Structure 1
Amino acid sequence: MEAATAAWERYAEGRTPRRAINSAGATTWLNWTQYPDHGPDESLLGPLHGRQVLELGCGTGCNLAHLATLGAQCVGIDIAPSQRAKAEARWRDVSGLAFQTAEATDFLGRHPRSFDVMLSIFGPVWFTDPATLLPLVRHALAPGGIFAFSHKPATAPGRRGATLREARAVVRWDYTPEEWVELLASARFTNPTAEVIDPPEGKREGTLLVRARR
């Protein structure tokens, strides 16, 4: 746990803050992919006003802050303490938004049926054994709740190996869309879907996007 926290702190130190305004002139927005101003928006999550939303691995809170401006009641967790500090400093004037420093499986185990929507964008879903994580996600979702996440496509089916150069203590789980659908169905989620979003022109790598319901 301590090694993973330290690894993610090192990773966070090298991250460039998201710009203040996107190409459409918006000050908040949701970005599922690794490319700016690309891919689908928050409509994948269904109605948000008044919903209880949790983001796993929220980083500096940019995606979650956007959902809060749409009327959702949002909680973001991240294992790196510095990320919480950055998120609170940047989004302190946004209501309905709170951040905590927490490891995903520990947090989920303490909040049964608390959330209507759960999302993770290049977050802990990619870096946690699904055999452990998925039952906890389902347990923390309210009946009918939506679970959605994204990360880079698998380089090989079922690959499990070291991840980021800055985070050698962290292991990554890579699965194809078909494998994720099977894993979610086995964990008793309903209507699981998975697809690879094509990259923008000039880029080679797409983004895996997965959704399911409790």
Structure 2
Amino acid sequence: MTETAIAWDTYSRQRPERRPVNGRGESTWFNWTQYEDHGPGASLLEALPGSRVLDLGCGKGGNAAHLAALGHRAVGVDISPKQLTAARDRWGQTAGLELHQADALEFLREDREGFAAVYSVYGAVWFTDPARLLPAIRERLHPGGRLVFSQRPPIEGCYGCQASYIPRGADEDPLVVKRWDYEPDAWEHLLAEHGYMDVHASVLAAPSGTRRVGTLVVTARA
């Protein structure tokens, strides 16, 4: 197992399971942000029912399962075996859902069918060099297809490749994974440089009544 897979397996053990139902009583739902019942839904992908949609860094599978429930051909990819075991345990019988254990770049290189939309929710787009990942995604998007991703906004002054630390036991050093942080205008410029159109990046405010950080949401079209 690679060091990256070990790191995300460790992270998986620290993450709570998705609730049985959300605040509206739904058993599947889409969530772009780190807050419950907050933000836009799957409509942000602008994908027609029956279209093939890719989740890069699907984690425990909740968003991909929701897309499958809506009638999409949902494909989830994650490098962590433990994340995918949790996803299969809960969502494995969902019609229209495929789950694959793979590196995001390797999966994109091997896929030949392509996608109407590719998305990442605090996932592989945040943790993969955009100089390598953005062209790979664009090659697999159908003409006019959407790339949408969300992640934590950057800390002021800390841009480009940064270190994320995943804690382990009290007597163990944390595991380190790389992430790529940019301000919204920098993401817009970067995506345009790689041939994307209709690029929009902004920070969605946290739920009202809180002083917590918002969520960076980026949309673009191939």
User: Who is 1:165 aligned against?
Assistant: 166
Q: How many Å apart are 1:140 and its aligned residue?
A: 1.2
RMSD of aligned Cα (Å)? 1.4
SS across alignment from 1:124 = coil
SS across alignment from 2:30 = coil
Paired with 2:95 and 2:86, the residues of 1 have a C-alpha distance of: 16
Kept after mapping to 1: 8 A contact 2:114/2:141: yes
Q: How many Å apart are 1:143 and its aligned residue?
A: 1.2
Paired with 1:164 and 1:100, the residues of 2 have a C-alpha distance of: 25
**Which runs of structure 1 show a deviation greater than 4 angstroms over 4 or more consecutive aligned residues?**
none
Kept after mapping to 2: 8 A contact 1:84/1:99: yes
User: Who is 1:213 aligned against?
Assistant: 221
Please give the TM-score of this superposition, normalised by the length of structure 2.
0.92
- 2:70 is aligned with 1:70: yes
User: Who is 1:184 aligned against?
Assistant: 191
Report sequence identity in percent.
Answer: 45
Aligned pairs for 1:123-162 (under 5 A) are 123-156=123-156, 158-162=159-163
Query: Residues 4-35 of structure 1, C-alpha deviation per residue, up to 9 Å, x if partnerless?
Result: 11111111111110110111111100000000
Q: How many Å apart are 1:113 and its aligned residue?
A: 5.4
Q: How many Å apart are 1:142 and its aligned residue?
A: 1.2
Q: Tell me, which stretches of 5 or more residues in structure 2 are unaligned?
A: 168-173
Residue correspondences, number: 214
Label 1:25 to 1:69 Cα distance change in 2 as closer, same or farther (>3 A). Answer: same
User: Who is 1:35 aligned against?
Assistant: 35
Kept after mapping to 2: 8 A contact 1:48/1:67: no
- Structure 2 letter corresponding to 1:196: V
Identify which range, 106-115 or 20-29, moves more after superposition: 106-115
Paired with 1:160 and 1:188, the residues of 2 have a C-alpha distance of: 22
Paired with 1:21 and 1:28, the residues of 2 have a C-alpha distance of: 7
SS across alignment from 1:50 = coil
Q: 2:210 aligns with which of 198, 202, 212?
A: 202
Q: How many Å apart are 1:156 and its aligned residue?
A: 2.9
SS across alignment from 1:142 = strand
Paired with 1:110 and 1:33, the residues of 2 have a C-alpha distance of: 30
- Structure 1 letter corresponding to 2:23: S
User: Who is 2:171 aligned against?
Assistant: none
Kept after mapping to 1: 8 A contact 2:201/2:218: yes
